[in-house]
Every structure is written in structure tokens, then in C-alpha cells.
Structure 1
Amino acid sequence: MVSDRKSSEADAAARNPIAFHAVTLATFFGASAAPTPLYRIYQESFSVSPVMITVVFAVYAFALLTALLIAGSISDHLGRKPVIFTALMLEIAAMALFTVASGPGWLIAARIVQGLATGIAGASIGAALVDVDRARGQLVNSLAPLSGMAVGAIGTSALIQYGPFPLHLVYALLLIGFAIQAVAIWLTPETGGKRPGMLASLKPRIAVPPQVKRTLALVTPINIANWTLGGFYLSLVPSLVVSTTGSHAPLTGGAVVTALMISGAIAVYLRRAQAPRTNLRFGVSATTAGILTVVAGVHLANVPVLLAGTLLTGIGFGVNFMGSVGSIMPLAKADERAGLLSAFYIQSYLAFSLPAILAGFLAKSIGYALTTDIYGTAIVLVSLAGLLAVIRAGKPSAAVA
């Protein structure tokens, strides 16, 4: 049966490389969200604090950022297939580490390897998608990560609630899936080429062109608030749901996280043709309304209100990211975009990880509900301040996102 599945996936990869790369990219990000519903169980099983859980979460973001900055363009020199294969091998190693994990040290090691694998995969698969079809590839690059994370969160929650071996089963299944993809990648056409300069490409290029500095400064508060929101959801929300609503069903916390990602993906697709400034207005408004609803759901201990607020927040999350990128990238020349994107990634992933660790400290000392109040207030105020600056400054970019 496994051999038949391998053959079937290999045939599909050869026939439709865009579909194969889309599924592979989504699987990487689905695996990145798989630990989220398990964090509460890890906390109980390994007797660790919320602070340690957020450290486990944050090291993934640091490793992913490192991989993006150092190895982000390596597939331009070695070809797409061998680099994607290397990322798959690293991801298989990460799944194996998760499967045998017996304490927080194992989890940290697994998340570091997973972050490196996902960073390499994100850059190389993203490039392969654009190689095959520029327009469709860019759309898939926007939708696959959010869709994959949604499936990863809800799928893991279902396996925890209804399947055996809650700390191991999801990783064993993902390991098998990545092994199949590692075989199938060699049956896809090579979309990139090989060229010299690989060692030079390992040096991170971080630069903000002069003509982009003002616009980047304007969208920075919105972008930081947006990624802080994402980090909070993916690190602490399942524990928050249990603490404030009393619902211990893994699917409940998983559904809340999934709602953020799936609504973000749908919003990106529906608003992809809107101008950046319009998207930022819409996104900040949706995020503000959503966070206020989430805070109300926390204090009412009402899961449906939490879900409704998360759907609104997710819409803002996706649209704000698209509006931020769409505001700055068209202003850079072709040879300036890699350095600008590196700077943008640094800003984004630091906001994704560092505030999450602070949230862990706050949750330990003052509780999840009050931590949510503080974080929600900060995110709303920073987002609104950023939007006001964008509106006062005028249109940041005439280009479509």
C-alpha cells in the first residue's frame, strides 16, 4: 500500500509540478503548526512552565529566519530539487526528534531543525513555484503556508482527541509523508539552473533602499503588531482556551488556531487585487474588531465568541501582511528586493517570537486572561497608530499587492 502511494504521488509530481510543490510547501507549514495543539499536553507531561513553551515556539522562528537569511538563495546556485530534498531530509530528522522527545530539550532541538528545514523549503519551493508559473506561483506562495498551518492545527487536534499515542502519532504520519515527498521530488522537472557563486550567496544581504525607508517605517507598526498577534496565537492560544473556558477538548483550541489561518488565507485570495493602502485600512479595522471580540470571548468564557473574533482577526492578519508587503516591494528595484525582503523578514520574525516569550512570562505571573487583555490592547493601539501614520502620509504605493 505504501509503495502504491509512493508511485501515485510520484506520478502526480511528474504530471503537475505546481500542485506537488504546493502540497509540499503546505505540508512543511502544516508540520510547523502541528506542535501548537500539543503545547498544553507537553506542559503537563513534562512539567514545564508557559515560559518554556514559548521558548520552544520561539527557537523555531529564529532557526527559520537564520535559514532564510543564509540559505535563502542557495537553490539559485545548486538547483531547486537537491535543495528541496535536503530540506525534506532535515524535516524528517525533526519529525523523528519530536517522536522520541522526552523533555523540553528534545522539543527545542526538534524545533530548531524544523525551523532550518522550513526556511530552506520556503525559499526553494517558493522559487520553484514562480519558475513554473509566475502568477499562480505567487498566489500559491501566499495561500499554501496559511492553508497548511490551518490543516496542521486542526488535524493534530483531531488526532490528539480521537487517535492513539497523542504525543507521537501526528509526527509519525508526517514523517511518512515527507519520506514520500523526498522520493517524489526527484521525479519532478528541475525548474532552476546552476550557477557559480554559492559561497558568496550564503552571506546575508540586508539592506533597505533609500526610496523604501519612509514607506517601510510607516507600515512597520502594523507589521510588528500583525506578527506579534500570530506568535501569540500559535504559542499560547490552546492553553488560553483551556484556562479561560474550561474546555479541555483538543479540537476546541485547535479550531480557534485554525480559524485564524483559514480566514487569513481566504482574505488574501479575495483581496489580492486591492491596493496596499486599501488593504491596510481594511486589515487594521478587521483586526481591531476581531481582537475586541476575542477579549470579550475570553471574559465570557464563550468558545463561539472566541471563534467569531478569531475569524475577524484572521481576516485582518492575512490582509495586513499582504498590504505591508505590497506597500514596500514594488518600490525596490529588482536587484534590491532580496536585501529588502531579508530586512522585512528580520522585523517580522523578531515580532513573531520575542513578544511570545514575554507573553509566556506574563501568563505564568498574572494568568492567561489578563495577558490577553494586555496583548490585545497593545496590538490594537500599535496597529491603529500605524494606520493613522499611513493615512496622514498619503498613499504608500500605487502598486497592486
Structure 2
Amino acid sequence: MSETRTSTVQAVDERTPTGAEKPDHRAVAPLWWIWLAAWPVTAVFVLSNAATPLYVLWQRDIGFSKGMLTVVFAFYIVGLIGSLLVSGVVSDRVGRKPVLLPALALALAACLIFATATGVVALIVARLFTGIAVGAVVSAGMAAVTDVAGPERKRIAALLASCAMVFGAGLGPLLAGVLSETAPAPTVTVFAVEAVLLVTALVVVLRMPVRRPQVRAEGAWVRVPGVPRGNGRQLLLGVAVFAPGITATSFVLSLGPSLLSGLLGTTSRIVAGAMAFVMFLAATGVQFAVQRLRRRTILTAGAISTTLSMVTLIVAVHTSAVAVLILSALLAGAGQGMGQLGGLSLLNSSVPPQRLAEANAALNVGGYVPAGILPVSAGYLSDAVGLTSGATTFGVVLMALAVIGGLVVLSTRRQVTDPA
């Protein structure tokens, strides 16, 4: 009797207008709810890169170097990784909504700070807040999509969560580029529009049909996120390909406008935003294209794409070829997309729900650490030896990491042969 009662209580939604019981977790939610559950991920990731085309304005008005620009960008990584140390574990223990709602509030605060920024410190704080919000979303938000989808639709959940992330990441700079060129108060209008998107995401989270956790993990609340015993190999395989891919796209986001300025002689924010958008559009489209392939094939293709991205980046900066630079961005987006999809699919298929948010956090920590360190290093190196030499060095290093990631996947068969 007591066990039945406990199960019934745990099936209650975290917050509902009536306090009514929700169906058992195994009940299938409508497909549209899975898509809608991915919207908060998209909305927060729009913010994550919305500032990209605006840095040229802030550099002009405030005055700071390419090295300082990458530091501002890196504080996003600092906030994100700090958030990942907490948000995944907390989400698995107390639920998705108690993590997502404060994250969305923090994202709204970041919008306000961006819109009123008059110095580098304000930009750093706004990027820090953005990183914290993104860290919560990539752990709790992406796990919430899987929760809504249910155990029978883990593949579509991994696909939609991953695509929501990369589509939002690409939509942000495009929206910012267009609005900042065509609307008044360019650094204000962009974040006012984004605030509206975040409010709609807040409504979605409040109504989202997810429950409190039935089984709570043990251990410290703040820790380096990990995976259950026996799932370390899946995490390693995902990080091996995802990390070089997201580092490549991070480089394009942080120094892409400077490269375009050097190659094209233009500071058009629409062009910079469009390049970032097509990069992440490629990341979105390629995931739909390869979703039915085997995980090993997806991960191998992701490593190859990132490698080719670095080859074309080196060619672009030495030949001043804009078309080759855009090709490099497209390949970088495809590499991140396939690495992300392959990693999430491996974790979704093997990690129990009560550890899934933490596992997602672990994957992203593994990806974002090099994505923060290497572009910052490239930015300061570019200040010292020139953009061409700095970009070339970055390309060679990341190419080596992508090749190593591909070799790791090829050397491991058993964990990645099932359909994605």
C-alpha cells in the first residue's frame, strides 16, 4: 500500500495549476510537446551567441583588443562550466523545472546588462550570466526533452534537443546582425527581442509535463559531473568528437568577425551574423540527414568534418578567400552537430534517467573546456604575431585533436555500433 501511494505522489507534476496528477511517466506525451519542450533550449542558445555580431560596435565604442574580446567570450565558458558542476546533479535530484526557471531568469538579467553595457566589465558579467543559464539548459533542459519524449522515443529526443541547441546558437547572431543594422539602438533592440523569446520559454517550462525524480542520486551536490560506472567509454567517445567540433565553432564565433574584416574589409554585422547562422544551420541540417546512421559512422564523419574545417581555415587565412572561410564554417558546424548528436545518442541510450542531466553536463564540460581555452589562446596569439599566424596555429592544433578523436572512435566498435 505505501509503495503504491509513493508512486502516485511521485507522478505529480512539479508545478501544475490544479495540483492534479499527471499520467505515469511511461505514458506517451504528444509529439508536439517534445518539440515544444526543446524551445527553452533554443531560446537560451539564441542569447548565447546574440552578442557575436555586436562586438565590433562595443570594440569601437569601448575600445579593447582581440585578446580581450576572446576573454569576454571565455567568461561565458567560465559561467557555463561552473553551472555544469551544479545544475546536472541538482536537476537529477530536485527536478528539471527548479533548475530551468532560475536559469531563464538569469538569462533575462543578462539581456538587461547587455542592453545597457558601457564597459568591458558589464560585458563580462552579461557573458558570465549567459554561460550559467546555458549550463543549466544543456543539462536540465536537454534532459527534460528526453523526459517528455519517454523511454520509447529517446532517439528523436536526442535529435530534437541537439538541434534545438545548434539552431538557437545560429539564430542568435543572425537575428542580432539583422536587427543591429536595420533597427534603432542596435545593442538594445536585439536584447529586447531576445527577452520576449525568453519569456515565452518561461511559459513553456511552467507548463512542461515533467515530474519530480522518482530515484535520487547520491553524493556531493557540487562536483565534476560524470556518468554511472560502465558508461565512461560512451562519454569518452562523445567528447573525443564533440570537443574539437564545438571548439571550431567557438573560434568562428569569437574571431570570425575579425577574419571577415581582414578578408573582406567590411564590418557588416549582417555578414558576420549570417556566417554564424549558416554554420549552425549546417549543424542542424546534418543531424537530420545522418540521424538513422550508426553512431560510429556519425562520430567518425564528425571528426572528419572538423579536420577538413581546419584545413580550409588555414587555406582561407593564407589566400584571403572568403568562400573558403565560409566553407570552413560550414564544415565546423557539421562537425559539431555530428559530434553532439553522436554523444547525446550514446548517453540517452545507456544512462538511466536519474543520472541523465549529469551525463549531459559531463559531455558539455568535456567539450567546452577546450572551446574556452583554445580560442582565447588564439586571440592573444593573434595580437602578438598577427591574425594569419594565430589562426594557422589554432587550425593545426585543433586538426590534430580532431584526428585523434576520429582514431579513438575507429578503435572502439562495441559501444558505437547500434543505430543512433
Deviation, structure 1 residue 211: 4.5
CA–CA separation in structure 1 for the residues paired with 2:112 and 2:346: 40
1:186-265 alignment runs, 5 A limit: 186=206, 188-193=207-212, 202-204=221-223, 206-207=225-226, 211-213=230-232, 221-265=240-284
Q: Is the 8 A contact 2:226 2:362 kept in 1?
A: yes
Deviation, structure 1 residue 217: 5.4
1:96 to 2:112 alignment: yes
Deviation, structure 1 residue 74: 3.1
In the comparison of the two structures, how many residue pairs are matched?
387
Report the more deviating stretch, 339-348 or 137-146.
339-348
Q: Which residue of 2 aligns with 1:153?
A: 173
Q: Which residue of 1 aligns with 2:63?
A: 47
Q: Which residue of 1 aligns with 2:72?
A: 56
- 1:178-228 CA-partner distances (Å, limit 9, x unpaired): 234435644x25421267969967333644666455665566554432232
Q: Which residue of 2 aligns with 1:274?
A: 293
CA–CA separation in structure 1 for the residues paired with 2:145 and 2:235: 27
Deviation, structure 1 residue 261: 0.8
Deviation, structure 1 residue 48: 0.9
Q: Is the 8 A contact 2:45 2:168 kept in 1?
A: yes
Query: Which secondary structure does the structure 1 equivalent of 2:309 belong to?
Result: helix
Query: Which secondary structure does the structure 1 equivalent of 2:417 belong to?
Result: coil
Deviation, structure 1 residue 104: 0.8
Q: Is the 8 A contact 2:84 2:225 kept in 1?
A: no
Q: Which runs of 5+ in 1 are unaligned?
A: 1-13
What amino acid is aligned across from residue 35 of structure 1 in structure 2? A
1:358 to 2:377 alignment: yes
What amino acid is aligned across from residue 285 of structure 1 in structure 2? I
Query: Which secondary structure does the structure 2 equivalent of 1:72 belong to?
Result: helix
CA–CA separation in structure 1 for the residues paired with 2:217 and 2:231: 28
Match of residue 34, structure 2, among 6, 14, 18: 18
Q: Is the 8 A contact 2:92 2:354 kept in 1?
A: no
Report the more deviating stretch, 385-394 or 134-143.
385-394
Match of residue 141, structure 1, among 148, 161, 167: 161
Q: Is the 8 A contact 1:68 1:123 kept in 2?
A: yes
The structure-2 alpha-carbon separation of the partners of 1:375 and 1:88, relative to structure 1 and needing over 3 Å to count, comes to same
1:36 to 2:52 alignment: yes
Query: Which secondary structure does the structure 1 equivalent of 2:186 belong to?
Result: coil
The structure-2 alpha-carbon separation of the partners of 1:24 and 1:43, relative to structure 1 and needing over 3 Å to count, comes to same
Q: Is the 8 A contact 2:162 2:337 kept in 1?
A: no
Match of residue 163, structure 1, among 183, 204, 214: 183
The structure-2 alpha-carbon separation of the partners of 1:22 and 1:331, relative to structure 1 and needing over 3 Å to count, comes to closer
1:67 to 2:83 alignment: yes
Query: Which secondary structure does the structure 1 equivalent of 2:416 belong to?
Result: coil
The structure-2 alpha-carbon separation of the partners of 1:279 and 1:340, relative to structure 1 and needing over 3 Å to count, comes to same
Query: Which secondary structure does the structure 2 equivalent of 1:191 belong to?
Result: coil
The structure-2 alpha-carbon separation of the partners of 1:284 and 1:45, relative to structure 1 and needing over 3 Å to count, comes to same
Q: Give the TM-score of the pair, scaled to structure 1.
A: 0.85
- 1:23-59 CA-partner distances (Å, limit 9, x unpaired): 2221110111101111222222211111221111111
CA–CA separation in structure 2 for the residues paired with 1:184 and 1:268: 25
1:87 to 2:103 alignment: yes
1:384 to 2:400 alignment: no
Match of residue 179, structure 1, among 172, 177, 199: 199
Q: Is the 8 A contact 1:154 1:254 kept in 2?
A: yes
Q: Which runs of 5+ in 2 are unaligned?
A: 1-29
The structure-2 alpha-carbon separation of the partners of 1:194 and 1:347, relative to structure 1 and needing over 3 Å to count, comes to closer
Query: Which secondary structure does the structure 1 equivalent of 2:187 belong to?
Result: coil
Q: Which residue of 1 aligns with 2:311?
A: 292
Deviation, structure 1 residue 267: 0.8
Deviation, structure 1 residue 66: 2.0
Q: Is the 8 A contact 1:299 1:369 kept in 2?
A: yes
The structure-2 alpha-carbon separation of the partners of 1:19 and 1:399, relative to structure 1 and needing over 3 Å to count, comes to closer
The structure-2 alpha-carbon separation of the partners of 1:43 and 1:21, relative to structure 1 and needing over 3 Å to count, comes to same
Q: Which residue of 2 aligns with 1:5?
A: none
Q: Give the TM-score of the pair, scaled to structure 2.
A: 0.81
What amino acid is aligned across from residue 364 of structure 1 in structure 2? D
- 1:288-324 CA-partner distances (Å, limit 9, x unpaired): 3333233333333332332233223322221133334
C-alpha RMSD of the superposition: 3.0
1:344 to 2:363 alignment: yes
Deviation, structure 1 residue 342: 4.3
- 1:310-354 CA-partner distances (Å, limit 9, x unpaired): 223322221133334555775667776666544433221111111
CA–CA separation in structure 1 for the residues paired with 2:296 and 2:94: 38
Deviation, structure 1 residue 161: 1.9
